[in-house]
Amino acid sequence: MKENKHENKYLIKKMEYNSWEDLPIIAIHNGMKNKTITTFTLILTSLSTKRMVYIRRKHSPCFLLFFNGCYGINNIPHMIDNITNDEKEILNSLLDNLLHDEFNVIVYNMYNNINKKKLDYGYYQMTQMKDMIYDVLNNNSEISNDLEYLWPKGHKYYNETKINAAIREFTEEISYDLYQYDIVENVSEDHISQINHNELFISDRSYYYCYSGMGNMLFKTICFAGFVIDEFEIDETDNDYEISDRKWISYDDAYEILDDKKRVVLNKIYLLLS
């Protein structure tokens, strides 16, 4: 097995193994911890309607973790607390007869591109954790979660700027090319009142919100405020493997569905319009 100094903070993409039997057992027990996971989002507002673009994903982040294997024993209760009832039923059904082929089918329906080593590890991890997952799953049936609307977001590529990462993630998840606009950034927010119809203005001021969970992990989202004059038409999500809905939502409606941490960011951006 290839030696790796990151064994205590297992990250599948940084480790190479010949087969899942070679994976270090410490990864199974510890999962990912003592780490900050940062994502970037562009919160886009139409100045003519004061509405923002939101998406709703097809699966909760914690549900996806069960299939890519990046979790440990201590993470399981938190993960199950944060998946939907439909996802609990899928897990229950899968655990009743955990077959590699069925596992692969479920994963390929959720990911359009997943590394085979990561897929094999996800299956191996679930076989090792099966009894505990099943026990926790069937002892919190009273907890119910719905998939929330949120701003498009994702991770930054190596050497990519934070703003470019936010623009790219928006383009990918909304299926709308923002580069057809003249992008204006790093200028005074006074420019908002001077935007023309061909411009996308992005303030260089960023905001963020954080959540703790999964042991000592911290999930941080850095937000950039973007503005265009008019709303554009958003395509349907029928063939999207990741997104179940995407649409423009008013401030009042968004305030009702967002949690307190996202409301703080929403209010700060909305103040720029006054």
User: Which of 22-26, 28-32, 72-76, 262-266 shows the highest mean pLDDT?
Assistant: 262-266
pLDDT at 142: 63
**Which of 239, 247, 219, 59 has the alpha carbon at shortest distance from 152?**
247
Q: Is residue 54 within 8 Å of 249, Cβ to Cβ?
A: yes
pLDDT at 216: 66
User: Which of 18-32, 42-56, 132-146, 148-162 shows the highest mean pLDDT?
Assistant: 42-56
**Which of 197, 227, 220, 261 has the alpha carbon at shortest distance from 53?**
227
Give me the DSSP letters along 199-231: EEEEEEEEEEEEEEETTTEEEEEEEEEEEESS-
Which H/E stretch holds residue 104? Answer: helix 100-110
Two tokens at 143?
């907890």
Residue 29 has pLDDT above 60, yes or no: no
For residues 22-30, average pLDDT: 39
Q: What is the mean pLDDT of the chain?
A: 81
Rounded to whole angstroms, the Cα distance separating 43 from 57 reads 16
Within 10 Å of residue 229's Cβ, how many Cβ atoms?
16
Give the model's confidence band at 143: pLDDT under 50 very low, under 70 low, under 90 confident, else very high: low
Rounded to whole angstroms, the Cα distance separating 84 from 90 reads 10
How is the chain split into domains, by residue range? 7-30+61-137, 36-57+148-271
Q: Contacts from 130-134 at CB under 8 Å and sequence distance 24+?
A: 130/95, 130/98, 132/73, 132/76, 133/66, 133/76, 133/80, 133/91, 133/95, 134/92, 134/95
Which H/E stretch holds residue 245? Answer: strand 243-249
CATH topology of domain 36-57+148-271: Nucleoside Triphosphate Pyrophosphohydrolase (3.90.79)
Residue 115 has pLDDT above 70, yes or no: no
- Tens of pLDDT, residue by residue over 81-111, are 888 888 998 898 888 888 888 888 877 777 6
Torsion region of 50: left, alpha or beta (phi above 0 gives left; psi -120 to 50 gives alpha): left
- Return the amino acid letter for 144: S
- Tens of pLDDT, residue by residue over 52-83, are 999 998 888 888 888 888 788 888 888 888 88
pLDDT at 106: 79
pLDDT at 246: 93
Give the model's confidence band at 15: pLDDT under 50 very low, under 70 low, under 90 confident, else very high: very low
- Tens of pLDDT, residue by residue over 196-252, are 999 999 988 899 888 776 656 778 999 999 999 999 999 887 667 788 899 999 999
Please give the DSSP secondary-structure letter assigned to residue 154. Answer: E
Compute the Cα dihedral for 226, 229, 231, 234 and give only its sign.
Answer: negative
User: Measured between alpha carbons, how far is residue 77 from residues 66, 80, 92, 135, 139 in Å?
Assistant: 12, 5, 15, 10, 10
Residue 114 has pLDDT above 70, yes or no: no
Compare 189 and 157 and report the one with higher pLDDT: 157
